[in-house]
Amino acid sequence: MELVNLSTETRNSKTIGLDTFSALEIVTVMNEEDAKLAQAVKPALKNIARAADWISEAFLKGGRLFYMGAGTSGRLGVLDASECPPTFGVSPEMVVGLIAGGDTALRNPVEDAEDDRQAGGKDLAAHNLTANDVVVGIAASGGTPYVIGGLTYAKEMGCHTVSITCNSNSPMSQVAELAIEVVPGPEILTGSTRLKSGTVQKMVLNMISTASMVRIGKAYENFMVDVMQSNKKLNIRAENIVMEITGVPREEARAAIDEADGKVKTAIVMLLTQSDRPRAESLLDKAKGHVRGALSVAND
């Protein structure tokens, strides 16, 4: 792949003299460049939403979301995947982040691993990929062999495939069923795609995981109603959510959460419908896990 023609590899005219800049000048120009990034994402919103719809549909069928990438892109995918269980109360197997070179590459660069096209498919096969899963490949350049190999294998398995790239008309865009292309332009440090490219990739991943989880009932209003309570801060957050939605005092919120075996969503339905736990769980089952739907069913 020829790097010279890639937007992410070209020189930024604003920072030709970067090595002569003061620290304030460096962070100022970085801030100015970063300020453009939300607008760079905007043209891709329809495709981002389509990816989120595919993923939420996959979740409802028991499918999974796989992120694949190398280097910074791979680490960002693993990061987003690792934050889904505590935020949305899902199994770690529901959203899986794969990085070229394996977990070692999260802390220690394994730069040549991205060149192994066959490894992409092998890593997915090791997770027993099925047609119900969705595979999202991430690469600033759009030409990472590891990711292309994974997307190719996923297509052969009948999966929906999505690419997230920071260059237009890349090889990954040609392979994937759906291409999300966000072009942030030249980096302030030429070719350092952990900067603007990494930022827009994180923005897109935030959108994909959040939208897909909300669509399957992991939020009520704008609260995380399946938040896991694994520390004191999260215990208090859970209580605050129940208090805000139902209007009960903290002691009653905690009692309901405990009665619901720690399930915030169930506690909310119990309190708002004056139900015991079994009935609240039944209402949620009928509403496929959506609190708003469960409340509607209760009022029918």
**What would the pLDDT profile of 176-213 be if each residue is shown by its tens digit?**
999 999 999 999 999 999 999 999 999 999 999 999 99
Determine how many CB atoms are found less than 10 A away from the CB of residue 248.
18
Look up the domain containing 277 and give its range.
Answer: 219-299
92 and 56, same structural domain?
yes
Q: Is residue 63 part of a domain?
A: yes
Residue 149: CATH number of its domain: 3.40.50.10490
152 and 20, same structural domain?
yes
Write the Ramachandran bin of 186: left for phi over 0, alpha for psi from -120 to 50, otherwise beta. beta
265 and 229, same structural domain?
yes
274 and 184, same structural domain?
no
Task: Return the residue matching tokens 């332009």.
Answer: 185
Give the pLDDT band (50/70/90) at residue 170. very high
Determine how many CB atoms are found less than 10 A away from the CB of residue 261.
10
User: What are the backbone dihedrals phi and psi of residue 201, each rounded to the nearest 5 degrees, phi first?
Assistant: -65, -45
Name the strand (E) or helix (H) holding 7: none
229 and 122, same structural domain?
no
DSSP state, 11?
P
How far is the C-alpha of 135 from the C-alpha of 154, rounded, in Å?
Answer: 7
196 and 254, same structural domain?
no
pTM of model > 0.85: yes
Task: State the pLDDT at residue 232.
Answer: 94
- Do the Cβ atoms of 255 and 230 come closer than 8 Å? no
Chosen domain end from 215, 248, 282? 215
272 and 137, same structural domain?
no
How far is the C-alpha of 54 from the C-alpha of 47, rounded, in Å?
Answer: 11
CA distances from 214 to 82, 83, 181, 291 (A): 17, 15, 23, 11
DSSP string computed for 81-131 = HHHHHHHH---TTTEEEEETT-THHHHS--GGGGG-HHHHHHHHHHTT--T
Write the Ramachandran bin of 26: left for phi over 0, alpha for psi from -120 to 50, otherwise beta. alpha
Q: Is residue 2 part of a domain?
A: no
Q: Is residue 124 part of a domain?
A: yes
Chosen domain end from 215, 240, 269? 215
Residues composing the chain? 300
How far is the C-alpha of 94 from the C-alpha of 288, rounded, in Å?
Answer: 17
245 and 194, same structural domain?
no
- 2 catalytic? Reply is no
Residue 232: CATH number of its domain: 1.10.8.1080
The two structure tokens encoding residue 170: 């890349």
259 and 210, same structural domain?
no
Mean pLDDT (the chain, rounded) = 96
In this predicted model, what pLDDT tens digit does every residue of 214-273 receive, in sequence order? Answer: 999 999 999 999 999 989 999 999 999 999 999 999 999 999 999 999 999 999 999 999
245 and 166, same structural domain?
no
Cα angle, residue 9 at apex, residues 7 and 12 outer, rounded to 5°: 80
Name the domain count of the chain: 2
Q: Is residue 1 part of a domain?
A: no
Task: State the pLDDT at residue 110.
Answer: 82
DSSP string computed for 32-77 = HHHTTHHHHHGGGHHHHHHHHHHHHHHHHTT--EEEEESHHHHHHH
Task: State the pLDDT at residue 2.
Answer: 56
195 and 70, same structural domain?
yes
Average pLDDT over residues 278-295: 97
Considering the candidates 9, 57, 83, 259, report the single residue annotated as catalytic.
Answer: 83
Return the amino acid letter for 5: N
Q: Is residue 96 part of a domain?
A: yes
Q: Is residue 265 part of a domain?
A: yes
Considering the candidates 33, 114, 187, 281, report the single residue annotated as catalytic.
Answer: 114
Percent of the chain with pLDDT over 70: 99
Chosen domain end from 215, 239, 258? 215
210 and 223, same structural domain?
no
CA distances from 58 to 133, 154, 160, 184, 219 (A): 6, 14, 9, 30, 18
In this predicted model, what pLDDT tens digit does every residue of 95-145 receive, in sequence order? Answer: 999 999 999 999 988 878 898 999 999 999 999 999 999 999 999 999 999
Q: Is residue 210 part of a domain?
A: yes
- 83 catalytic? Reply is yes
